[in-house]
Amino acid sequence: MSIFSSCKFVPHAILLQPKASLKTPNQSLATVHCTKVVRNVNLEKLRHNYLFPEIEARALEHMKKYPDANIIRLGIGDTTEPIPDIITSNMAEYAKALSTRKGYKGYGAEQGHKALRKAIAESFYKDLGVKDAEVFVSDGSQCDISRLQLLLGSSVSVAVQDPNFPAYMDSSVIIGQAGDFLDETLKYKNIEYMTCGPHNNFFPDLSTTSRTDIIFFCSPNNPTGHAASHEQLTQLVEFARKNGSIIVYDSAYSVYITDGSPKSIYEIPGSRECAIEISSFSKIAGFTGVRLGWTVVPDELYYANKVPVIHDFDRIVCTCFNGASSIAQAGGLACLSPEGFKAVMSVVDYYKENAKILVETFTSLGLVVYGGVNAPYVWVHFPGSRSWDMFSHILNKTHIITVPGSGFGPGGEGYIRVTAFGQRENILEASVRLKNVYL
């Protein structure tokens, strides 16, 4: 049976709409009391709910409709495997010590504990010239995206990959960089969309890309799973240096790289003069709930007026952040010990095997599949179909939650993203369900 034969596709707007009014129950808009404070006009420009809460809302609706169904969640990229004991034991010991006078500690440095900053520099940037003082420990890379937007301000111009992780786009809209939304193109007026698809090996054509102040770039990419090659990143760095741009480089999935592609932008000559790198322990060590990440701001990166960017970012961090949890930082330090890193990488390998199973499953269905090799995401193409239609179809027929590609931007239309973060038995069951429905 054809994968499309049992699915009726009804064209609809790919943008999400709010599902409920903001008024409280039994309260009409005519009787609501309003302040005289005007709503942030930039928030009014957001065209949809944030992608992942919207998916969760639709999943809850499905569960109400099918209360006995065994839902398999392969949508939101949340880790599922337990954090290795060597990591949690270190956090537990640190937490226990807080109940003693000798072990109690209050505020730490906003930039992070010195030992952890040093361990990050040595573990992920060995021989790349990154100094301990250039590493800023945080409560996660998504939080750092917003802090960087605050650093950069509303007047900079921005380019993003298309498709891209929604936080880059939504934070650009909120800070005031994006301009008006254009219904005819489904894009924001002031954002440069760098199309990244199979036709260009998931790397933008820089010869036709307009100059912007800031370039958001994620590798391995979320959602496509593509890891940029050394040659591609060299082109990107040269493009940024030529145009006087700053690259905000997201390397959150770098430990999943298996083919020798660069794991850091700082492997590329000249990048310290044009790039900031953000990363996270979330997908490395299962810290999605623990919350720990970092940002590297090289001391060689300068504004047009010759002020070092690192000085301003330090001020942003000290003003807006009291530092990552000391308990989480103790866990991060344990992750980067020889034994700890070996333990967390064994979990990474587990997810890689999940990805391999998913790739083989969708390929066996006659679909073209990308990703799943250097990243925990599988990017599946459904030509001629709308992403939200396929999301609904798969959910209704198999009780499997995925992510519609259009939620990552116009370039994601016709795709779904499937995560390899899941328990093996669920991955295998998902494979069986998909094959039973589509073969």
User: Does pLDDT of 325 surpass 70?
Assistant: yes
Same domain flag for 101 and 175:
yes
Same domain flag for 147 and 205:
yes
Q: Report pLDDT for 27.
A: 59
Provide the percentage of residues in the chain whose pLDDT is more than 90: 88
Instruction: Report helix, strand or coil for 5.
Output: coil
User: Does pLDDT of 245 surpass 60?
Assistant: yes
Same domain flag for 152 and 101:
yes
Query: CATH number of the domain that 196 lies in?
Result: 3.40.640.10
Cis peptide before 410 (omega within 30 of 0): no
Instruction: Note whether 83 and 284 are within 8 A (CB).
Output: no
222 in a structural domain: yes
Distance in angstroms (rounded) separating the CA atoms of residues 130 and 121: 6
Tally of CB atoms within 10 A around 88: 15
- What is the longest distance spanned by two Cα atoms in the chain? 69
Confidence band for 17, pLDDT divided at 50, 70 and 90: very low
Task: Render pLDDT for 212-225 as a digit per residue (tens, 0 to 9).
Answer: 999 999 999 999 99
Q: CA end-to-end span of the chain, whole Å?
A: 6
Q: Which one is predicted more confidently, 199 or 7?
A: 199
Q: Please state the rounded mean pLDDT for residues 298-324.
A: 98
91 in a structural domain: yes
Confidence band for 53, pLDDT divided at 50, 70 and 90: confident
Radius of gyration for the chain, computed over Cα atoms and rounded to the nearest angstrom: 22
Same domain flag for 128 and 54:
no
240 in a structural domain: yes
Distance in angstroms (rounded) separating the CA atoms of residues 193 and 236: 15
Q: Report pLDDT for 187.
A: 95
Distance in angstroms (rounded) separating the CA atoms of residues 387 and 404: 5
User: Does pLDDT of 73 surpass 80?
Assistant: yes
102 in a structural domain: yes
Q: Report pLDDT for 438.
A: 76
Same domain flag for 118 and 207:
yes
Strand residues in 142-213 grouped as ranges (E) = 158-162, 181-182, 187-188, 191-195
Task: Render pLDDT for 336-379 as a digit per residue (tens, 0 to 9).
Answer: 999 999 999 999 999 999 999 999 999 999 999 999 999 999 99
Same domain flag for 177 and 199:
yes
5 in a structural domain: no
Q: Report pLDDT for 439.
A: 62
257 to each of 1, 317, 338, how far by Cα in Å? 36, 30, 19
Same domain flag for 357 and 404:
yes
Domain boundary residue among 338, 366, 400?
A: 338
Same domain flag for 323 and 383:
no
Domain boundary residue among 291, 308, 338?
A: 338
Same domain flag for 324 and 425:
no
Q: Please state the rounded mean pLDDT for residues 177-183.
A: 94
Same domain flag for 89 and 230:
yes
Q: Report pLDDT for 47.
A: 77
Confidence band for 88, pLDDT divided at 50, 70 and 90: very high
Domain boundary residue among 338, 372, 399?
A: 338
Same domain flag for 292 and 358:
no
Contacts of 363 (CB under 8 A, 6+ apart): 369
Distance in angstroms (rounded) separating the CA atoms of residues 407 and 48: 9
Contacts of 371 (CB under 8 A, 6+ apart): 220, 223, 224, 225, 226, 355, 359, 377, 378, 379
User: Does pLDDT of 4 surpass 50?
Assistant: no
Q: Please state the rounded mean pLDDT for residues 287-294.
A: 98
148 in a structural domain: yes
Distance in angstroms (rounded) separating the CA atoms of residues 243 and 231: 18
User: Does pLDDT of 282 surpass 90?
Assistant: yes
pTM for the predicted model, two decimal places = 0.91
Same domain flag for 122 and 161:
yes
353 in a structural domain: yes
Q: Please state the rounded mean pLDDT for residues 200-205.
A: 98
Q: φ, ψ for residue 258 (rounded to 5)?
A: -120, -10
323 in a structural domain: yes
Give the range of the structural domain holding residue 215, as residue numbers without chain letter: 85-338
> Residue 375's closest CA among 357, 395, 352, 354?
352
Task: Render pLDDT for 411-436 as a digit per residue (tens, 0 to 9).
Answer: 999 999 999 999 999 999 999 999 99
Task: Render pLDDT for 104-123 as a digit per residue (tens, 0 to 9).
Answer: 999 999 999 999 999 999 99
Task: Render pLDDT for 383-406 as a digit per residue (tens, 0 to 9).
Answer: 999 999 999 999 999 999 999 999
Number of domains in the chain: 2
Distance in angstroms (rounded) separating the CA atoms of residues 162 and 406: 10
20 to each of 14, 59, 419, how far by Cα in Å? 18, 16, 28
Angle of helix 424-438 relative to helix 387-398, nearest 10 degrees, comes to: 100
